[in-house]
Chain A
Amino acid sequence: MITINQLHKTFGRQEVLKGIDLYFSAGEGLALIGPNGSGKTTLIKCLLGLNTVQPGLIQFNGEDIYQQSAYRKNIGYMPQISRFPEQMRVKELFALMKSIRAEESTYDLELFEAFEIEALYQKKMGLLSGGMRQKVSAALAFLFHPDVLILDEPTAGLDPVSNEILKEKLRKTIHNENKLVLITSHVLNDLDDIASRLVYLMEGRVLFDKQLTELQAETSENRLNAMIATFLRKQTSHG
């Protein structure tokens, strides 16, 4: 579904991504993890075309995304920090998005209803709290039935109830609807029953890329946190 070949990305003199090769396919719950500044957000921004990349490095369904925009109709994106124009009302946002995507006739309103977005309709974006903005952003990401969901730190700022709702929705999206979900998170506990594959980035390189079952067998741990800790410990002691 998404192929990344030798992706390099430099900002000025700083090389943030130093040659990444990855392949993502439908039905995967992919957890992108790694320490701060390892290039997770940069990688996501490259996928979304927010950061420009050279031609031929990233393919979406076999098509090069270089200078393309149409492929983004298949992507739902929830950014790390959702910021909207302050004066805009929630209702206007949804109306505008629907009118931009006029070709879509059915909407996925599950999160929209679960988060009770309609109750916020008359509120201005500037007055919403960070968590409420995250909810709006999540509802928006799912709205047009995208085949790929990209969530950058989705659980930061969400209350526990909303967090569970989002996780349940993600679980359903991966297992029942066979879609690709790409999540970055520091809160590994949140990824526990969503992720089926782990990609660990370190200083702009892929340190390891393993199926969850594989990792489980290698480390004989059950919790994600412990698995990664054990695995990294093994790696460093070997190296």
Chain B
Amino acid sequence: MGKIIQFLATDLFKNKTIFLYLLFLWVTGFGLISLQGQGEKILLALLNISILVVPMICLVFSIIYFYNMYEFLLLLHAQPLARSTLLISFYTSLSLVLTGVYLFGLGLPLYFSGAGGEGLLLLLTGSLWNLIFIGLALLMAIWASDRTKGMGFSLLIWVYFVLLFDGLVLLLMYNFNEYPIEKLVLYISFLNPLDLGRILVLMQTDAAALMGYTGAVFQQVFTENWGKGLVLVLLLLWALIPFSVSIRWFNKKDL
């Protein structure tokens, strides 16, 4: 497995898209520093950039890469390698490279902006998002042999998690604002890893004070250590479950 991961990771690093991604993260990161100065503003801006960019890059790039390397996968399959080994190699190398680029691309601006523990928390959350959305991309790629279909559905996932979900939560809160639904909203946020991570990072900043009564409920959970731990565990589950399902599907798939 190590040899395949090594080969795929090297192949990925040669990819120009990866380099452009790194460049994009640097340009936005350092650009924001020069525009907005230091501190929490930068952290929040980088948080928003992560929310928009990480899922999209992970979904689109991983799925294209998987489809492009399909023949290679078949070639390796003729060797005595278990199917799970092949898929784990793909997942690991994509995760290593994309997460590495993310950490390097945002870590450097964060370091210069002087963000402390909150910056590290953002990087940790962002890395978990990488793992989650690469897993979802592989799931889609295995589910749909038709490339257009796989691509379409992975974009749908992106739109759902980035835009639609928030819209639905907002609709819920707007319609039921006379009822005590703060707890419910907290549980609903578990259903979207992006929201979960966003709230986790937001709550560590002063922006938390702007969130009103719902914020107070969130404050209880997301600032305590057990609460942070719980969120990280939930994010890990979000990464593990789609990936283990994709292994199961891959084992049964006609290649």
Contacts and interface: CB of A to CB of B under 8 A. Distances in A.
Interface size class of A (residues with CB under 8 A): 20 to 34
B255 interface: yes
A176 interface: no
Interface stretch (B22-30, B54-62, B75-83, B103-111): B75-83
Contacts of A97: 79
Contact of A69 (B69, B72, B81): B81
Given A69-B83, A87-B11, A50 B72 contact: no
B78 A72 contact: yes
B79 A101 contact: yes
Contacts of B255: 45, 50-51
A49 B4 CA distance: 20
A24 interface: no
B75 A87 contact: no
B6 to A, nearest CB: 9
Interface in B59-97: 68-69, 71-72, 74-83, 85
A85 B77 contact: no
Contacts of B68: 85
Contacts of A52: 251-254
A96 interface: yes
A84 B254 contact: no
Interface stretch (A75-83, A159-167, A200-208): A75-83
A50 B254 contact: yes
Interface size class of B (residues with CB under 8 A): 20 to 34
Contacts of B253: 52
Contacts of B78: 48, 72, 75, 77, 79
Contacts of A72: 78-81
A147 to B, nearest CB: 13
A32 B152 CA distance: 40
B254 A73 contact: no
Contacts of B79: 72-73, 97, 100-101
B143 to A, nearest CB: 15
Given A52-B254, A96-B3, A100-B3, A84 B75 contact: yes
Q: Which of B4, B71, B78, B251 has the most CB of A within 10 A?
A: B78
A70 B82 CA distance: 8
A23 interface: no
A83 B69 CA distance: 10
Contact of B82 (A69, A87, A96): A69
Interface of A: 11, 45, 48-52, 67, 69-73, 75, 77, 79, 83-85, 87-88, 92, 96-97, 99-101
Interface of B: 3-4, 7, 11, 14, 68-69, 71-72, 74-83, 85, 251-255
